[in-house]
Amino acid sequence: MKDLFDRIIKDKGPLGKWASKAEGYYVFPKLEGPISNRMKFNGKEVITWSINDYLGLANHPDVIKVDGEAAMEYGMAYPMGARMMSGHTKFHEQLERECAAFVTKKAAYLVNFGYQGMVSAIDALVTKNDVIVYDMDSHACIVDGVRLHHGKRFTYKHNDIESLELNLERATKIAKETGGGILVISEGVFGMRGEQGKIKEIIALKKKFNFRVLIDDAHGFGTLGKNGRGTGFEQECQDGIDIYFATFAKSMAGIGAFFAGDKDVIQYLQYNMRSQMFAKSLPMPMVKGALKRLDMIRTMPELKEKLWKNVNALQSGLKENGFNIGNTNTCVTPVFLKGEVPEAMALVHDLRENHHIFCSIVIYPVIPKGLMILRLIPTATHTLQDVEETITAFKAMREKLDKGIYTRVGAAMVR
Ligand SMILES: Cc1ncc(COP(=O)(O)O)c(C=O)c1O
């Protein structure tokens, strides 16, 4: 009989197999210094394009003050226990009320982490009689939540309403047989390629089919719609979203997340979401800090304006210079290039060491083999100078890529 760890030690997985070459540089890098448009990597200043601090709140002095004061007053432990048992405070409730009001829903429920919250919410919302229909390009938290489902599930082609309709027909047939309902899940903003989900068109299908909609708006919250109220506002269809989800890990520059919807549904989640029932509640500095951040998002529209000034400058600059940024219509800015893992390593090394640009690279298995995405996240802390320097660097990088220089360098790196 084999030892359980034999396989794990031999086969480290599609990313893990690169660990000895990549760790500390390409994966698990250490960005140092205050969170901002320019930070330190390996002792050198780099322009940072991989931090989801869209509105620049992470290091805002007013935010740091509130976080610090809350930590001084309550420590990092209070309140202890799960919300249901002993970990509940009036500030958790206040944050829920304010989140709900901001996204114009009746009620909201806080969760400790977006990923775990989404997995657990999906698990709570459906029984084996229900059918889930979800976008093929959904974030891992949706995919993993669906994995827990004991009933039928269908994916539809990414943002393809015809494909969704086809799958809703199949789902409807099954739900009629089982006596269950249908849950449709999409992202508000697809975080890898930056396309908005076609939320309005999804909701329009409610005229033809009977289903409920859950939207993961991790990247839309704070960045889209009036005052940053999210993708539902951007597309003027917020009312049709039955359950709205956003994390605090991006525009809110913190930790935590929330679900918002009608009172009955939110109360159901409060009493049935295992990730919250069996886990300690959010510590007070996160809660008080989130209240401050939400207030700033609500009252400081200039943060979102500055963000979009940078987004527009970066995206138009890249397009004018012939870069393929796909179909993004959000802040997420992907730059599509061709190459394999060795090229990706040489290219990223060159950008970081010689051009002082730090951005994330996405490769197989996250996207198909032979494709690379440099993923840039503009924030309100960036400057037009950052944009200019980045585009100049990218032009130099493309020349080397076209000449095959990274192919040769990369081959030597992985040897
Ligand atoms: C679309 C999407 N959903 C959920 C999450 C998970 O949120 P959290 O970091 O709060 O766990 C993320 C990213 O982190 C995300 O991009």
414: pLDDT strictly greater than 80:
no
Confidence tier at 21 by pLDDT (50, 70, 90): confident
- Contact predicate 234/195, CB 8 Å: no
Measured distance CA(155)–CA(164) in Å, rounded: 8
Q: Indicate if ligand 1 lies below 6 Å from the C-beta of 113.
A: yes
Measured distance CA(63)–CA(53) in Å, rounded: 13
Q: What is the pLDDT of residues 185-235, one digit of tens each?
A: 999 999 999 999 999 999 999 999 999 999 999 999 999 999 999 999 999
- Contact predicate 297/289, CB 8 Å: no
Of 115, 245, 275, best ligand 1 pocket probe by most atoms within 8 Å of the beta carbon: 115
Asked if domains 4-54+301-414 and 61-299 share a fold, the reply is no
Select the more confidently predicted residue: 414 or 142.
Answer: 142
Q: Angle, to 10 degrees, between the axis of helix 114-125 and the axis of helix 263-272?
A: 100
- Ligand 1 centroid–CA 150 distance in Å is 24
Task: Name the closest-CA residue to atom 12, ligand 1.
Answer: 218
Q: What is the pLDDT of residues 283-302, one digit of tens each?
A: 999 999 999 999 999 999 99
Counting Cβ atoms within 10 Å, is residue 331 exposed (0-12), middle (13-18) or buried (19+)? buried
Q: What is the pLDDT of residues 242-272, one digit of tens each?
A: 999 999 999 999 999 999 999 999 999 999 9
DSSP classification of residue 189: B
pLDDT of residue 303: 98
Distances from the Cα of 86 to the Cα of 100, 114, 281, angstroms = 23, 22, 9
Q: Angle, to 10 degrees, between the axis of helix 61-74 and the axis of helix 284-299?
A: 150
Measured distance CA(61)–CA(122) in Å, rounded: 37
Q: Indicate if ligand 1 lies below 6 Å from the C-beta of 257.
A: yes
- Ligand 1 centroid–CA 255 distance in Å is 10
Strands 212-216 and 360-362: unpaired
- Ligand 1 centroid–CA 415 distance in Å is 35
For residues 39-64, average pLDDT:
97
Measured distance CA(356)–CA(372) in Å, rounded: 19
- Ligand 1 centroid–CA 176 distance in Å is 33
Q: Which amino acid is at 412?
A: A
Sheet with 360-362, strands from edge to edge, namely: 333-338, 371-376, 360-362
For residues 156-166, average pLDDT:
98
Predicted model pTM: 0.96
- Contact predicate 326/194, CB 8 Å: yes
Separation of CA 165 from chain center: 26
Q: Which atom of ligand 1 is nearest to the CA of 118?
A: 4
Q: Which atom of ligand 1 is nearest to the CA of 255?
A: 10
Q: What is the pLDDT of residues 330-347, one digit of tens each?
A: 999 999 999 988 889 899
Q: What is the pLDDT of residues 117-133, one digit of tens each?
A: 999 999 999 999 999 99
pLDDT of residue 41: 96
Is the domain covering 61-299 a CATH 3.40.640.10 domain? Answer: yes
Q: Indicate if ligand 1 lies below 6 Å from the C-beta of 141.
A: yes
> Which fold is adopted by the domain 4-54+301-414?
Aspartate Aminotransferase, domain 1 (3.90.1150)
Q: Indicate if ligand 1 lies below 6 Å from the C-beta of 286.
A: no
95: pLDDT strictly greater than 90:
yes
Measured distance CA(394)–CA(398) in Å, rounded: 6
Q: What is the pLDDT of residues 367-376, one digit of tens each?
A: 888 999 999 9
Residue spans of beta strands (DSSP E) within 212-345:
212-216, 243-247, 257-261, 333-338
Q: What residue segments make up the domains of the chain, in order of their start?
A: 4-54+301-414, 61-299
Of 99, 116, 139, best ligand 1 pocket probe by most atoms within 8 Å of the beta carbon: 139
pLDDT of residue 182: 98
Q: Indicate if ligand 1 lies below 6 Å from the C-beta of 135.
A: no
- Contact predicate 356/31, CB 8 Å: no
